[in-house]
């Protein structure tokens, strides 16, 4: 009888310990810094980019990946559909956007700055710092928009 009680007590303690593991993990996630939450690969869900008239652009949504590394590097690639393959601007060349470099983060102002070391558009971006306003949502999304007053786009990402 004593052995049964002792064994039951051990089982209760073991189960209680297992139940504590998820809550301990949740507390750790809740206390992560924004920088820690950024680390990893992100999948593009949606870009909002108004056209010249201020209305939503009719350009099909691109596919994309954004990567932030723990040691402060960033890489972004977007691929537009064939119908937008002629799209070119400061960021995009022939329907493709790609750049890499380093990044800095200011968690107080929710600002990221991408420091471009290489880009598909060459000298149009290389050597520039691109300030971005970011929001990390409660449902795990990352929303980035330009901090430049003349750029009115935003991109919504989710972790892979």
Please check the confidence at residue 13 and state whether its pLDDT lies above 60. no
Instruction: Report angle CA 133, 135, 132 to the nearest 5 degrees.
Output: 15
**Residues present in the chain in total:** 160
The CATH code of the domain at 34-159 is 2.40.128.490
Please check the confidence at residue 8 and state whether its pLDDT lies above 70. no
Positive/negative CA dihedral, 141, 115, 99, 94: positive
Q: Which residues of 122-157 are buried (b: 16+ CB within 10 A; e: fewer)?
A: eeebeebebebebeeeeeeebbbbebeeeeeebbbb
pTM of the model: 0.77
**Per-residue pLDDT at 136:** 97
Give per-residue pLDDT as tens, 37-67: 999 999 999 999 876 666 767 778 899 999 9
Mean pLDDT of the chain: 84
**Per-residue pLDDT at 53:** 67
Q: Where are the domains of the chain?
A: 1-31, 34-159
Give per-residue pLDDT as tens, 93-135: 999 999 999 999 999 999 999 999 999 999 999 999 999 999 9
């Amino acid at each position: 009888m004593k052995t049964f009680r002792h064994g039951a007590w051990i089982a209760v303690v073991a189960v209680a310990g297992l139940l504590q593991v998820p809550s301990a993990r949740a507390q750790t996630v809740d206390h992560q810094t924004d920088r820690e939450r950024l680390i990893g690969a992100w999948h593009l869900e949606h870009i909002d980019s108004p056209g010249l008239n201020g209305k939503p652009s009719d350009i099909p949504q691109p596919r994309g990946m954004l990567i932030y590394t723990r040691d402060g590097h960033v890489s972004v690639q977007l691929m537009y559909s064939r119908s937008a393959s002629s799209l070119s601007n400061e960021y995009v060349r022939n329907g493709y956007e790609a750049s890499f470099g380093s990044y800095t983060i200011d968690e107080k102002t929710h600002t990221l700055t991408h420091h471009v070391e290489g880009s598909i558009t060459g000298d149009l971006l290389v050597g520039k710092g691109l300030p971005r306003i970011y929001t990390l949502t409660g449902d795990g999304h990352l929303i980035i928009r330009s901090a430049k007053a003349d750029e009115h786009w935003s991109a919504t990402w989710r972790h892979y």
